[in-house]
């Protein structure tokens, strides 16, 4: 299925493959009519991985979705189209990126379905410093940094368990986790109770050395890998609780 209008999908292909002289900004429009302004090649790669690569294993029957590392809202837009009855909580800690997230959700008329939080998510709640990668317009990483670091911004962090509980359902149907390396801290360090509160997860793992440990911990709580997507040294792995196929009762 073509998840973009023909008028904007083919320019997306050309820009992603760098087959034409880049002209930014320009607006991508999905086949459902949702629009997002692309300001650079990194925005293009985000739209490509979500709409063309279909990297995340969201299912049409999903009703509750957590978008952790929402960035500018591309996955939330995609999920709102695939899962027409879903409620989505989208977390993005970096202020300028969060502003673009809110703009994209509001301009596409999705504010009633997608709730945006200007917060990061970690193993525990608190406050952390976030470093902006100056080579990438919309990516940041939460680290423990020197307060004098001019490239750092203080951000609020909610625990993974708190983010799950905030949705006020026994089980969140789907968790998308792309948090620039912090997935190791969360999935290896969070409370065991967290794993009782969601059914499926697509997690982007940035360090090859921790893939086995993350998958092993999820398996210990009843999850099995269902899909893998590799891009360079990074992997996005979708795991699902045993006996909980999408569309069927658990």
Phi, psi of 11 (to 5 degrees): -60, -35
The pLDDT value recorded for residue 145 is 44
Helix H or strand E segment including 10: helix 6-16
pLDDT in tens, the chain (250 residues): 556 666 788 889 999 999 988 789 999 999 899 999 999 999 999 999 999 999 998 999 999 999 999 999 999 999 999 999 999 999 999 999 999 999 999 999 999 999 999 999 998 899 888 776 544 434 444 444 455 566 677 889 999 999 999 999 999 999 999 997 789 999 999 999 999 999 999 999 999 999 999 999 999 999 999 999 988 888 999 999 998 877 554 3
| Cα dihedral: 34, 116, 229, 55 (round 10) | -20
What is the rounded distance in angstroms from the CA atom of residue 186 to the CA atom of residue 199?
Answer: 17
The pLDDT value recorded for residue 149 is 60
The pLDDT value recorded for residue 136 is 40
> What domains, with CATH codes, occur in the chain?
1-54 (no CATH), 59-120+160-241 (3.40.50.150)
The pLDDT value recorded for residue 137 is 38
0.85 exceeded by the pTM? yes
Distances 94 to 108, 117, 134, 174, 199 between C-alpha atoms, Å: 21, 10, 13, 23, 28
The pLDDT value recorded for residue 43 is 95
The pLDDT value recorded for residue 135 is 40
């Amino acid at each position: 299925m073509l998840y973009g209008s023909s008028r904007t999908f083919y320019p997306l292909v050309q820009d992603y493959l760098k087959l034409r002289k880049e002209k930014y900004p320009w607006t991508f429009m999905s086949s459902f009519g949702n629009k997002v302004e692309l300001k650079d090649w990194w925005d293009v790669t985000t739209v490509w991985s979500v709409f063309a690569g279909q990297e995340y294993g969201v299912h049409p029957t999903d009703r509750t979705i957590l978008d952790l590392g929402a960035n500018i809202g591309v996955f939330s837009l995609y999920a709102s189209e695939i899962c027409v009855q879903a409620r989505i909580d989208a977390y993005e800690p970096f202020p300028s990126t969060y502003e673009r997230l809110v703009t994209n959700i509001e301009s596409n008329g999705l504010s009633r379905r997608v709730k945006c939080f200007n917060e990061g998510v970690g193993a525990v709640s608190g406050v952390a410093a976030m470093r902006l990668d100056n080579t990438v317009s919309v990516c940041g990483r939460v680290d423990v940094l020197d307060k004098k670091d001019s490239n750092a911004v203080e951000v609020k962090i909610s625990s993974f368990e708190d983010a799950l509980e905030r949705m006020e359902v026994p089980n969140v149907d789907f968790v998308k986790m792309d948090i620039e390396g912090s997935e190791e801290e969360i999935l290896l360090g969070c409370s065991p109770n967290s794993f009782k509160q969601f059914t499926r997860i697509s997690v982007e793992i940035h360090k090859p050395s921790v893939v086995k440990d993350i998958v092993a911990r999820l398996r210990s709580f009843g999850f099995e890998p269902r899909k893998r997507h590799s891009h360079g040294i990074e992997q996005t792995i979708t795991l699902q609780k045993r006996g909980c196929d999408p569309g069927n009762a658990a």
